[in-house]
Amino acid sequence: MMTNPTGRITQGQFSFLPDLSDEEIRLQIDYGLSRGYAWSVEYTDDPHPRNTYWEMYGMPMFDLRDAAGVMNELRACRHTFPRHYIRLQAFDATSGIESIAMSFIVNRPAHEPGFMLERSEDVGRTLRYRVRGYAANRPEGERYAP
Least gap, CB of 111 to other proteins (angstroms): 14
Least gap, CB of 47 to other proteins (angstroms): 6
Query: Beta strands of the chain (E only): which ranges?
Result: 38-44, 55-56, 85-92, 99-107, 115-121, 127-133
Residues 6+ apart with CB under 8 A from 101: 32, 35, 37, 90, 91, 92
Instruction: Please say which residue, 42 or 77, places its beta carbon nearer to other proteins.
Output: 42
CA neighbor of 145 nearest in space, from 110, 106, 105: 110
- Residues contributing to the site for other proteins (CB under 8 A): 2-6, 9-11, 13-18, 20, 24, 27-28, 31, 47-50, 52, 89-90, 95-104, 114-117, 125-127, 129, 131
Query: Beta-carbon neighbour count of residue 143 at 10 Å?
Result: 20
Least gap, CB of 115 to other proteins (angstroms): 4
Least gap, CB of 37 to other proteins (angstroms): 10
Measured in whole angstroms, the distance separating CA 139 from the mean position of its chain's CA atoms is 19
